[in-house]
Amino acid sequence: MRRDLLLSWFLWVVAFIFLAGAGYISWVKYFTDQEITFTQPQKNPLLDDPKMAVVDYRVPDFILEEDKPAITRAAKLYTVIPERENTKVFTHLVAANDSMFGLAKEFGLEPESILWSNYDTLQDNPHSLTPGMELMIPPVDGIYYQWEVGDNFDSVAAKFKTQPEEIINWIGNDFDLLNPVVEAGDMVMIPGGQRDLQQWIIPTISRGAAGVSSGVYGEGACSGPFEGLYGGGGFIWPTIGHTLSGNDYWSGHLAIDIGLVIGEPIYASDSGVVVFSGWSSGGYGYVVVVDHGTGYQTLYAHLSGVAAGCGQSVVQGQTIGYGGNTGNSTGAHLHFEVRFQGGFVNPWFVLPPP
DSSP assignments along 17-63, one per residue: HHHHHHHHHHHHHHHHTSPP--PPPPPPHHHH-TTSPPP--PPPHHH
Would you say residue 330 has pLDDT above 60?
Answer: yes
pLDDT of residue 247: 84
Answer yes or no: are the C-beta atoms of 118 and 128 closer than 8 Å.
Answer: no
Q: What is the DSSP letter of 133?
A: -
The Cα 121–Cα 142 span in angstroms is: 17
The Cα 334–Cα 314 span in angstroms is: 19
Taking alpha carbons only, the member of 299, 310, 295, 294 closest to residue 238 is: 299
Residue extent(s) of CATH 3.10.350.10 domains in the chain: 90-191
Question: Which residue type occupies 314?
Answer: V
Lowest mean pLDDT among 2-16, 211-225, 228-242, 321-335: 2-16
For the segment 309-330, the average pLDDT, to the nearest whole number, is: 93
Vertex 221: Cα angle to 216 and 227 (nearest 5): 140
The Cα 141–Cα 139 span in angstroms is: 7
Instruction: Answer yes or no: CATH 2.70.70.10 is held by domain 214-349.
Output: yes
Question: Which residue type occupies 334?
Answer: L
Give the CATH superfamily of 90-191.
Answer: LysM domain (3.10.350.10)
pLDDT tens, 156-183? 999 999 999 999 999 999 999 889 999 9
pTM for the full predicted model: 0.59
Answer yes or no: are the C-beta atoms of 163 and 157 closer than 8 Å.
Answer: yes
Chain center to CA of 235: 33
Would you say residue 83 has pLDDT above 70?
Answer: no
pLDDT of residue 42: 52
Would you say residue 46 has pLDDT above 70?
Answer: no
| HSE toward the beta carbon, residue 159, CA cutoff 13 A | 14
Residue extent(s) of CATH 2.70.70.10 domains in the chain: 214-349
The Cα 289–Cα 222 span in angstroms is: 10
Q: What is the DSSP letter of 172?
A: G
pLDDT tens, 175-206? 998 899 999 999 999 999 998 877 666 667 77
pLDDT of residue 81: 40
Identify which has the larger pLDDT, 187 or 79. Answer: 187
> Is beta strand 319-322 parallel, antiparallel or unpaired with respect to 285-291?
unpaired
Rg (CA), the chain: 45
Question: Which residue type occupies 225?
Answer: P
Q: CB within 8 A of 21, min separation 6: which ones?
A: none
The Cα 255–Cα 284 span in angstroms is: 12
For the segment 200-223, the average pLDDT, to the nearest whole number, is: 68
Would you say residue 4 has pLDDT above 70?
Answer: no
The Cα 135–Cα 29 span in angstroms is: 97
Identify which has the larger pLDDT, 305 or 198. Answer: 305
For the segment 220-231, the average pLDDT, to the nearest whole number, is: 87
The Cα 201–Cα 282 span in angstroms is: 7
For the segment 92-100, the average pLDDT, to the nearest whole number, is: 88
Q: Would you say the C-alpha torsion 302, 308, 314, 317 has a positive or negative sign?
A: negative
Q: CB within 8 A of 300, min separation 6: which ones?
A: 238, 266, 287, 288, 289, 290, 320, 321, 334, 335, 336
Vertex 353: Cα angle to 244 and 347 (nearest 5): 60
Answer yes or no: are the C-beta atoms of 110 and 84 closer than 8 Å.
Answer: no
For the segment 222-227, the average pLDDT, to the nearest whole number, is: 83
pLDDT of residue 331: 86
| Maximum mean pLDDT: which of 5-19, 52-66, 267-281 | 267-281
**Average pLDDT over all residues of the chain:** 81
